[in-house]
């Protein structure tokens, strides 16, 4: 039975518990566990219970913590509601976060989450309205290429455009990279590009327990590519 078929799982324990115990409606909620533990986010638990409980994309947390440990800067391409940008802003070594989000509703939610965490005026945060292939090259951003950095890419199909825009930055610098992909062809293309730039690659798949607790938005193919270039730290 395919794990990524949204119709394949008839019983969803988390959904059953949520429907029984949680009152729907968007409101500030403190994340209970996981990478974003203790962040206050504007959530509707009726459709964001996994974020609230620290389970959403939990498979990536080890690699994200590893990247955040030393990063002096971070580029968040497809920042969404901003929880990862906020997490990096709170890291003691991170001096600059550039967040890109083109969708007005998501950007408004991002700004609400910044306010809830008292980061609206953080001078280390730079918000860009979105990424386009014809727009400002990521190579041109004023980041310290001599320091460790991190690129998070969730670009809804534009991942290769993002990599092209950041090629100089990735060649001269040494940022870790996380890319969310939704097709095998795109995964192979991104892996080939990163490998050609000297990256070591780890493919992160959905965890086995997604049988019981599937992602809230299952897709035919979903994985994350984590790449490291210069620091000889274990990938797993």
| pLDDT tens digits for range 171-188 | 998 899 999 998 899 999
Alpha carbon separation from 74 to 17, 87, 204 (Å, rounded): 36, 11, 20
pLDDT at 178: 97
* Domain around 162: 57-228
100 — phi, psi (to 5°)? Answer: -115, 125
Rg for the chain (alpha carbons), in Å? 18
Looking at the domain assignment, is residue 203 inside a domain?
Answer: yes
Looking at the domain assignment, is residue 32 inside a domain?
Answer: no
Q: Order the strands of the 176-181 sheet from edge to edge.
A: 125-128, 96-100, 73-77, 149-153, 176-181, 223-228, 200-204
Looking at the domain assignment, is residue 115 inside a domain?
Answer: yes
pLDDT at 5: 45
Strands (E) in 155-219, as ranges, are: 176-181, 200-204
Six-digit token string for 65: 């913590």
Strands (E) in the chain, as ranges, are: 27-30, 40-43, 73-77, 96-100, 125-128, 149-153, 176-181, 200-204, 223-228
With a cut of 70, which residues of the chain have pLDDT below it?
1-22, 131-136, 216-220, 230-236
Looking at the domain assignment, is residue 38 inside a domain?
Answer: no
Looking at the domain assignment, is residue 94 inside a domain?
Answer: yes
Position of tokens 């001078």?
123
Looking at the domain assignment, is residue 175 inside a domain?
Answer: yes
CB 137 within 8 A of CB 165: yes
CATH number of the domain encompassing residue 220: 3.40.50.150
pLDDT at 211: 87
Looking at the domain assignment, is residue 233 inside a domain?
Answer: no
pLDDT at 24: 79
Looking at the domain assignment, is residue 105 inside a domain?
Answer: yes
What is the total count of domains within the chain?
A: 1
Position of tokens 């950041």?
166
- Could you tell me the pTM of the whole model? 0.85
pLDDT at 29: 95
pLDDT at 16: 57
């Amino acid at each position: 039975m395919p794990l990524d078929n949204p119709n394949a799982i008839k019983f969803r324990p988390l959904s059953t518990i949520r429907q029984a115990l949680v009152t729907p409606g968007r409101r500030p909620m403190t994340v209970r566990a996981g990478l974003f533990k203790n962040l206050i986010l504007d959530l509707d638990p009726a459709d964001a219970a996994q974020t609230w409980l620290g389970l959403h994309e939990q498979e990536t947390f080890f690699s994200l913590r590893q990247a955040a440990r030393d990063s002096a800067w971070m580029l968040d391409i497809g920042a969404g509601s901003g929880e990862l940008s906020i997490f990096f802003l709170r890291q003691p070594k991170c001096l600059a976060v550039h967040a890109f989000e083109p969708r007005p509703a998501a950007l408004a939610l991002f700004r609400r989450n910044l306010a809830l965490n008292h980061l609206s005026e953080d001078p280390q945060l730079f918000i860009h309205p979105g990424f386009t292939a014809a727009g400002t090259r990521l190579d041109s951003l004023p980041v310290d290429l001599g320091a460790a950095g991190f690129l998070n890419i969730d670009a809804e199909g534009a991942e290769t455009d993002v990599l092209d825009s950041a090629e100089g930055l990735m060649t001269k610098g040494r940022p870790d990279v996380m890319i969310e992909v939704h097709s095998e062809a795109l995964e192979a293309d991104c892996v080939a590009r990163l490998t050609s730039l000297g990256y070591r690659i780890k493919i992160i798949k959905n965890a086995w327990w997604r049988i019981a607790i599937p992602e809230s938005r299952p897709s035919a193919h979903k994985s994350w590519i984590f790449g490291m270039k210069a620091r000889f730290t274990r990938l797993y």
